[in-house]
Amino acid sequence: MRQFVIILFITGLSIVSDKLAAADFAAKGKVIYKEHCISCHGENGEGVADEYDEALVGTSSIEKLTRIIHKTMPEDDDELVIDEDAKAVAQYIYHAFYSPEAQAKIKPVRKALLRRTQHQHRNSIADLVTSFRGHSPIPKQHGLTTNYFNAEKMNKQKQKLLTRIEPTPSFNLANNHGVKKINPKAFSIHWQGALLPPETGTYHFRITTPNGARFFLNTYDKKKTALIDAWVSSKNTMRISVESTFLIGGHAIPMMIEYTSFQEKKSSILIEWKPPHGIWEKIPQRFLAPINAKEVAIINTPFPADDASLGYERGSTISKQWSVASANAAIQASSIILNHLDQLAKTNPKDKQRTIKLSKFCEQFTARAHGRPLTADQKQKIHKLFMQHGPEGATQRCLMLALTSPYFLYPELSHRTDGSQSKHDAWAIATHLALTIWDSVPDNQLRQAASKGHLVNPQQVSAQAQRMLKDPRAHHKLRRFFHEWLNLSEKEDLRKDPKLFPGFNARLIADLRSSLNLFVADVLWSDNSDYRKLFLTQEVHMNPRIAAFYKTKLPEHLKNEQFAPVVTPDHHRAGILTHPYVLSAFSYHKQTSPIHRGVYLSRNVLGRFLKPPPKATEFKDSDFKPHQTMREKVTELTKDHSCMACHEIINPIGFSLENYDAVGRFRTREKNKPINTESDYITDDDRKVRIKGAQDLARLAVESPGAHRAFIKHLFHHLIQQPVPAYGYSTMDRLHESFKTTNFNMRQLIVDITTTTALIPSHPKKK
Stretch that binds other proteins, among 25-33, 400-408, 422-430, 546-554 (CB under 8 A): 400-408
Among 370, 397, 513, 603, which residue sits at the site for other proteins (rule: CB under 8 A)?
397
Binder of other proteins out of 84, 392, 636, 737 (CB under 8 A) = 392
Which is nearest to 300 in space by CA: 118, 459, 490?
118
- Of 198, 179, 314, whose CA–CA distance to 251 is shortest? 198
Q: For other proteins, which stretch binds (CB under 8 A), given 53-61, 165-173, 330-338, 524-532?
A: 330-338
CA distance 653 to 664: 16
Q: What residues numbered 239-278 form the site for other proteins, per CB under 8 A?
A: 260-264
Residues 563-582 that bind other proteins (CB under 8 A): none
DSSP letters for 375-423: PHHHHHHHHHHHHHS-HHHHHHHHHHHHHHSHHHHSTTHHHHH-S---S
In 35-158, where do the E strands start and end?
144-150
Under rule CB under 8 A, residue 420 binds other proteins: no
Choose one: 42-50, 153-161, 547-555, 635-643; the region binding other proteins (CB under 8 A).
153-161
For 59-136, where are the E strands, in sequence order?
Answer: none
Those residues with Cβ within 8 angstroms of residue 174's Cβ, 6 or more apart along the chain or in another chain: 266, 268
Nearest to 315 by CA among 720, 713, 758, 716: 720
How far apart CA 108 and CA 499 sit, in angstroms, is: 55
Q: Is 421 in the site for other proteins (CB under 8 A)?
A: no
Backbone dihedral region for residue 728 (phi beyond 0: left; psi -120 to 50: alpha; all else: beta): left
Q: Is 422 in the site for other proteins (CB under 8 A)?
A: no
Q: Which of 108, 137, 311, 393 binds other proteins (CB under 8 A)?
A: 393
Rounded (10°) CA dihedral 392, 396, 398, 399: 130
DSSP state letters, 512-523: HHHHHHHHHHHH
Going residue by residue from 77 to 116, which x/- string records binding to other proteins, judged by CB under 8 A? ---------------------------------x-xx-x-
Choice between 37 and 125, CB closer to other proteins: 125
The answer to whether the CB of 273 falls within 8 A of the CB of 204 is yes
Q: Is 188 in the site for other proteins (CB under 8 A)?
A: no
Give CA torsion, residues 138, 438, 606, 644, to 10 deg.
130
Binding flag, residue 223, other proteins (CB under 8 A) = yes
Q: Long-range contact list for 447-451, CB < 8 A, 24+ apart?
A: 447/368, 450/372, 450/426, 451/373, 451/426
Q: Which is nearer to other proteins, 22 or 310 (CB)?
A: 310
Cβ(246)–Cβ(202) below 8 Å = yes
The single-letter DSSP state of residue 135 is P
Quick one: 184 or 544, whose CB is closer to other proteins? 184
* Selected range binding other proteins among 46-54, 193-201, 408-416, 620-628, rule: CB under 8 A: 408-416
Under the binding rule (CB under 8 A), the answer on residue 416 touching other proteins is: yes
Q: By CB under 8 A, name the one of 417, 526, 642, 741 that touches other proteins.
A: 417
Rounded distance between C-alpha atoms, residue 106 and residue 44, angstroms: 10
Q: Between residue 109 and residue 148, which ones bind other proteins under the rule CB under 8 A? A: 110, 112-113, 115
Judged by CB, which is closer to other proteins: 413, or 429? 413
Can you say whether the dihedral through the CA atoms of 495, 524, 203, 269 is positive or negative?
positive
Contact status: 589 vs other proteins (CB under 8 A):
no
Which residue among 231, 265, 526, 676 contacts other proteins (CB under 8 A)?
231
Closest CB to other proteins among residues 2, 153: 153
Binder among 406, 498, 503, 614 for other proteins (CB under 8 A) = 406
Q: How many residues bind other proteins (CB under 8 A)?
A: 62
| Cα dihedral sign, 161-166-170-172 | negative
Binding track over 371-390 against other proteins, x by CB under 8 A? ----------x---x--x-x
Beta-bridge partner residues of 445: none
Please, which of residues 335-364 interact with other proteins by CB under 8 A?
Answer: 335, 349
Q: Which residues bind other proteins (CB under 8 A)?
A: 110, 112-113, 115, 153-155, 211-212, 223-226, 229, 231-236, 260-264, 316-320, 323-324, 327-328, 330-331, 334-335, 349, 381, 385, 388, 390, 392-393, 396-397, 400-401, 404-407, 409-410, 413, 416-417, 764-767
